[in-house]
Structure 1
Amino acid sequence: MARWFGRSRSRSYDKPGAAAESEHLEPLGVSDDLRLAYGRTGDPKLLRGSLQAAELAVEVYPVDDIRHAAALSSLCMLHRLSWERDRSAADLVKAVDYGRQAVDKSLPGDPVLPRHMSSLATALQEVYDSTKDTESIDEAIALYRGCLDIMPVRAAGLNEERVAQESNLANSLLRKGRTANDSAILDEAAEHARAALRDTPEDHPMHAPRLINLGGALLGLVQTGHREHMAAAEDMYARGLRGLPVGHPSRAGVEQTLAIIKGLRRQFGV
């Protein structure tokens, strides 16, 4: 799942001169700082403060300022975080609504439009996870594809945001492919998961999760009858498990899945 915990590129510190000195006075900057602090501490008061600052930012910045769309996108993300914390359906509805507004009100050439699209897509993916509404996952997939279409491809070096969108698209396709038991969709999920993994250095903190993501796509193919992917799925999960830090919340689930794959290999002799 995509989580934009970095600072907004629409903040005043991106501007030269004296304007950068007053970034702490800007509501979008305040919202960003409080959101980052919430990510570190999990304190719900910080999340509420970040929401209030983002709401103020929507009022302060005019529609023809790229920070207006950025503030709407922040509200999308923040209400999704509230949903993840409290599971209030109203938060998820607001996340999608603000995400749509952010995309619709982005100005031509806005360099962070892919972030707004991704934030909306992630909210829609949460809708799908809770409701199994196929239109939501289809829209999320279309948005992630759109992100990749408009993001630049670098000749050299790691474009982290583009790689993240490859991984996000893979995860959305995996969700749809598993539900539909559709090997063609799962094949595409594996293709994008491989691309994300290929472009993620081994010392990158997302390397282990992306190994596991590819393993999940391959396991999905196994579950549609393609047992030839079983050994590769086990390898991805095993390597991913070795790369996860001790105490990582995903370790137990990965260990359980790895045990299931090993059992299937013994059962089918592959």
Structure 2
Amino acid sequence: MADAGGPDLTGAWQDAITAAERALRGDRVTRAQVVTTVEVLCEDLQLLDRPSVGRHINYLVSLLDFLGLYDTSRVLLEHVASCFVLDPPALNMDAAVRNQLAVTFAERGHLPAAARLLTGSAKGSVWTAATLANQACVMLRRRDIERAVDAAFRARQAVVPAEGDDETEEELDVHVLATAVLAQVARMGGLHAVADELVDELEGFVRRLVRLLGGDHPKSLSALVTLAWAEFESAREAGESQRIERAGDVIALAAQRMSAILGTEHPRSLSVLQIMATVEHETAWVLGSDRRLQGANALMRATVRRADGLRRWDPWSLGLDETIEVERAAVAAIPVGHPDRAVHLTRLGNALQARFKHTGNPEALFEAIEVGRAAVAATPDDHRDRAARLTILSSALQARFKHTGNPEALFEAIEVGRAAVAATPDDHPYKTVFLTSFGNALQAMFARTGDAEALFEAIEVGRAAVAATPDDHPDHVVHLARLGTALQAMFARTGDAEALDEAIEVERAAVAATPDDHPDHVVHLARLGTALLSRFARTGDADALSEAIEVERAAVAATPDDHPDRAARLTNLNFALQAWLARSGNLHSQWERFERTRAMQDFEDPLAVWERLARLAPPDPSHDSDADR
């Protein structure tokens, strides 16, 4: 709720919506007045004070789109995204509203905010099929392939068929989104036969959706583009030029209809134009038509310019080579000192880093660093994107250090990362991203040089990242794990008992924050067990030993037999059990019992020895009195 004396948020929302409605009707309200009312909303950090606010956001954004005030809707959504970071409980709005709001963010390129809305819901809430399908699309665009596939499969399983034979719009929409994600991932993984089967299945869902909604419905047009893009990828893989051209024709028709219905600058229209530009470029290459290639390049440049006005260009809609080509051309065409030059330098640097990751070509990485330095140099000190560009440069320098071992690259990465953190206010939505990158560089410095000062600073950075991340945020446990690792390294380096105590508390928090069936749960268990054994070795604390045995048993139980870390976890459990047996005075008798009961084949398999020892009776702290006397 707003502070006393501040603006009435309900009134502010109503003023903005009423002004937009009147401007749309031509009722004596100008677009400039609408912009002013939205600016009032964006002055308050407690914008999201009630669950119903999600409906206000969706409705107001749609009104702004109809008025052509795309830049105003962008500013509003950026402010809302910042409010979600500052006020995580605001995410706990109605599931349907939250889902639609996530779609709105994703359409406009705000992928982190969309992901936060889809994954940061209240604990215990039900994942609907629509939410899972949208999450799959967002995760794929963020290149989180594993989570995209998981969400897509779960979305298809979560669809509740309608009564009777009629399929609903929601049911078909989920199938279209989820199947398209699975087809694209299969194609990326080289599973072309599987991808083609999924495309055939996708075609059936799209045809039924179009019959249900009509060919000019925006959702039908989006589905047709999704199918045509999948057909295009299939035809490109098969080298079938006629199918490539046919897919391009469908996308061009859908782009024309989408622009006519929603407007040429609507985010959906721009997304389709981006896809159309990519397909036209590829078709020109396949057909070997220089004239068509020139036209495709002109279409790309026009689409970039139009999307740039809305800060909505998604370079990943093109392949890496096309993206690099387009961004190099843009940088060459923009004079030094122009504010858009830094934007295109940043995009070029990102694409070059992606090429290095995909190919291992060091020339791409070296160029990315030079481009990153130029982007930073072209960004004023007080620019809102300066910290992000510094962090991108730091990441490239860290990659160079890992690839070449060049210490100068690491020194520069640390200085650049420190500048990025210093340039970021505490309430910035990506503060933790910058802190994480800086902390990684500091820990790399410690690992290379043993510099304790670098480790001390890494711990402070890790604490700041944990403090800046809400407990229910998906990245909270990641920051806990990094901090725990640094604290255990500090204990190993200095013997600082307080660092070990803090490491144990941090690792306990990481275990508690990770679901039992999450693949990282066993990793956090193992780290906690190591820290507890270190405490026992240092102090002889019986409680620490008992907890270590319990934790190590859980880690072993959660580790598959063929996992490469199973031997190490069994070794830790074996050490803990032998320490308990020695402490209780029962080592000799227990070992004799073990020797009598094990099978002969165990002599040839040390893992089986450790596993049998792990099945001995658990320690009972109440029996420790004999050893204490």
Distance in structure 1 (CA, Å) of the matches to 2:492 and 2:558: 21
Match of 2:369 among 51, 68, 71: 51
Letter in 1 for 2:530: G
Distance in structure 2 (CA, Å) of the matches to 1:202 and 1:261: 19
Residue 508 of structure 2 corresponds to: 194
CA change 1:191–1:90 in 2 (3 A) is same
SS at match of 2:365: helix
Residue 258 of structure 2 corresponds to residue 258 of structure 1: no
Q: How far 1:57 moved relative to its partner? A: 2.1
Residue 424 of structure 2 corresponds to residue 106 of structure 1: yes
SS at match of 2:475: helix
Q: Which ranges in structure 1 are unaligned for 5 or more consecutive residues? A: 1-11
CA change 1:263–1:219 in 2 (3 A) is closer
Distance in structure 1 (CA, Å) of the matches to 2:361 and 2:555: 32
Match of 1:124 among 437, 442, 466: 442
CA change 1:232–1:47 in 2 (3 A) is farther
On the 8 A contact 2:526/2:552 being kept in 1, the answer is no
Match of 1:94 among 405, 412, 423: 412
Deviations 1:157-178 (A, max 9, x none): xx12222111111111111122
Residue 144 of structure 1 corresponds to: 462
Residue 488 of structure 2 corresponds to residue 169 of structure 1: no
Letter in 2 for 1:22: W
On the 8 A contact 1:212/1:240 being kept in 2, the answer is no
Q: How far 1:72 moved relative to its partner? A: 0.9
Deviations 1:98-138 (A, max 9, x none): 11111122256422122212211221112222222222211
Distance in structure 2 (CA, Å) of the matches to 1:39 and 1:215: 34
Residue 8 of structure 1 corresponds to: none
Letter in 1 for 2:313: S
Between 133-142 and 226-235, the greater mean CA deviation after superposition:
226-235
Distance in structure 1 (CA, Å) of the matches to 2:520 and 2:537: 26
Distance in structure 1 (CA, Å) of the matches to 2:355 and 2:522: 25
TM-score (norm 1): 0.76
On the 8 A contact 1:34/1:46 being kept in 2, the answer is yes
CA change 1:41–1:199 in 2 (3 A) is farther
On the 8 A contact 1:211/1:240 being kept in 2, the answer is no
Deviations 1:168-227 (A, max 9, x none): 111111111222334432221121112122222344443343233323322322332443
Match of 1:213 among 527, 531, 546: 527
On the 8 A contact 2:525/2:551 being kept in 1, the answer is no
Q: Which has the larger radius of gyration?
A: 2
How many residues were matched structurally? 249
RMSD: 3.1
CA change 1:135–1:29 in 2 (3 A) is same
Residue 9 of structure 1 corresponds to: none
Distance in structure 1 (CA, Å) of the matches to 2:568 and 2:352: 36
Deviations 1:48-97 (A, max 9, x none): 34323322321333222222211111222222222223222112211111
Residue 386 of structure 2 corresponds to residue 74 of structure 1: no
Distance in structure 1 (CA, Å) of the matches to 2:499 and 2:426: 32
Q: Which ranges in structure 2 are unaligned for 5 or more consecutive residues? A: 1-107, 112-265, 268-306, 316-326, 328-343, 582-618, 620-629
Residue 313 of structure 2 corresponds to residue 22 of structure 1: yes
SS at match of 1:160: coil
SS at match of 1:62: coil
TM-score (norm 2): 0.36
Distance in structure 2 (CA, Å) of the matches to 1:256 and 1:86: 30
Q: Percent identity?
A: 24
CA change 1:124–1:22 in 2 (3 A) is same
